[in-house]
Amino acid sequence: HKQMKMFKTILLLLCISIMPSCSSDDSNNNNQGGNNSFFTKIDGEDFDADFASGFVTTFNTTITISGSDGNGKEVTLIFPITATAGSTYTIQSLDFVASYNADENDVSMANSEGSITITSHDTDDKRVSGTFNFVTEPVMVGSSNGYTFTEGSFNVTYTEL
């Protein structure tokens, strides 16, 4: 179990390190013209992302979707590029990875509970939507908190890097 947790942590850190960063002063619009949406409740509090974006990983095997508030809070979801409408992936199956950065010193990831369901995936237009929920645990012991994510939803156009 410890090896699996370490593997997921390394995978998450690799994914985070290749993710494009976005800040409130970006000249490009990360919301693809305002058509992207990303919402969840974090410990019961609404989190309606100001920036929602998606991209396909370098190896064309996964889609990474993220929602951020532009002030350091970011929720990231990773799932197979082969996802089709009606597909459900769980944290336990390793097909779904989820993380939350509350700030640079508070990073957590889902380790045991959570799922994502794809409600639509248009591979021609590169647009995907779905719902999700998960519970995170701190990546580093004593350095962050765990959080509960409920009522999550996204509708995002993704790009290939």
Q: Tell me the pLDDT of the chain averaged across its residues.
A: 82
Evaluate if residue 9 carries a pLDDT over 90: no
Confidence grade of residue 34 (pLDDT, cut at 50, 70, 90): low
Report yes or no: 115 and 134 within 8 Å, Cβ to Cβ.
Answer: yes
Q: What is the mean pLDDT of residues 14-36?
A: 45
Cα 4 to Cα 149: distance, rounded to the nearest angstrom: 22
The number of beta carbons lying within 10 Å of the beta carbon of residue 118 is: 20
Q: Which residues contact 126 (CB under 8 A, 6 or more apart)?
A: 157, 158, 159, 160
Confidence grade of residue 60 (pLDDT, cut at 50, 70, 90): confident
- Residue written as token pair 């619009």: 29
Query: Helices (H) and strands (E) in the chain — how many of each?
Result: 1, 10
pTM of the prediction? 0.80
